[in-house]
Amino acid sequence: MTFPRTRLRRLRSTPALRRMVRETRLSADRLIRPLFVRSGRGVRRPIGSMPGQFQFSVDVLAEECAATAELGIPAVLLFGIPECKDATGSAAWADDGPVQEAVRAAKSRVPDLVVITDVCLCEYTDHGHCGLVVERPGGPVVDNDATLELLARMAVSHARAGADIVAPSDMMDGRVGAVREALDAAGLSATPIMAYAAKLASSYYGPFREAAESPPRFGDRKTYQMDPANGDEALREVAADIDEGADIVMVKPAIHCLDIIRRVKDRFGMPTAAYHVSGEYAMLKAAAVNGWIDERSCALEAATAVFRAGADLLITYYAMELARWLRAGD
């Protein structure tokens, strides 16, 4: 490549030319909107650390699902907040639980919307951990193997309620296989699994824990979520979930794992999702409120970066705004 014969700026001179040669294109049909559902009626409770996000009751959430579909967003990801929590998270598989009721309401209101449900116990346990806690000589620990049966019961309950996809996010070893086996045994072999395959023990989940009312009462989640320093281990996690029956694999958080997204897509060629998490969202919102950034251009750039890295799907709290901006021609 020699200058002046080669001038890369030639194809940047007008907006039309830039659009023509753009390598990564954003589309609303690659977005997934996370939603939080709780009991009650007419509830639209703001989440303080996540401006623009809310906890919804089932009736309001059904209307939100309709608005989501109208913008061309094909899917939502549901998180439930039960009225009562206990040591085992038993509300997670209750037929009248918030997620189960929300799935039925969403599918009734918008049948073609893809409804994905988060499968994890942290929102349902009184201790806030993602699995069953047992006492050991050195103190309480999350029992990996005892947790698998509970996650499987939760996934089957969601699928029976009508969930299109179940998404185990707990990071217990073997949970994808346990969920797959339970779904198949229940006659639900057509239900796909979207595995939180490479989920790092990130510091950027803080606002989510307010939204889902799920901070751990003791310790942290570093004994089951991945060390953020480990990229090779992320590939081992993804490989294990694929072997156990995952249909879609996910990397989380998105912006801080662009290298892992690229490696996962290159290595496995699987449908790959990335989760633009609550802290990543909240930082953009806070900077925009202070006038330090242009929110729209930064959010669009962040989404572009995730897809450029290799993601096929993006779970983001910006889903509605991104869809509106894209519809307006951004």
Burial code of 247-278, b = ≥16 C-beta within 10 A, e = fewer?
bbbbbbbbbbbbebbbbbbeebebbbbbbbbb
d(CA 291, CA 312): 31
Catalytic positions are: 199, 252
d(CA 260, CA 254): 9
Element (H, E) at 305: helix 295-309
d(CA 127, CA 122): 8
Specify the DSSP class assigned to residue 97. S
d(CA 191, CA 276): 24
d(CA 103, CA 164): 9
Q: Both tokens of residue 298?
A: 């930064």
Instruction: Write the burial class of residue 329 (CB in 10 Å: 0-12 exposed, 13-18 middle, 19+ buried).
Output: exposed
Specify the DSSP class assigned to residue 128. -
φ/ψ of residue 173, rounded to 5: -65, 130
Provide the β-strand partners of residue 133.
142
Quick check: 154 and 121 in contact, CB under 8 A?
yes
Strand ranges, E, within 183-257? 194-199, 248-252
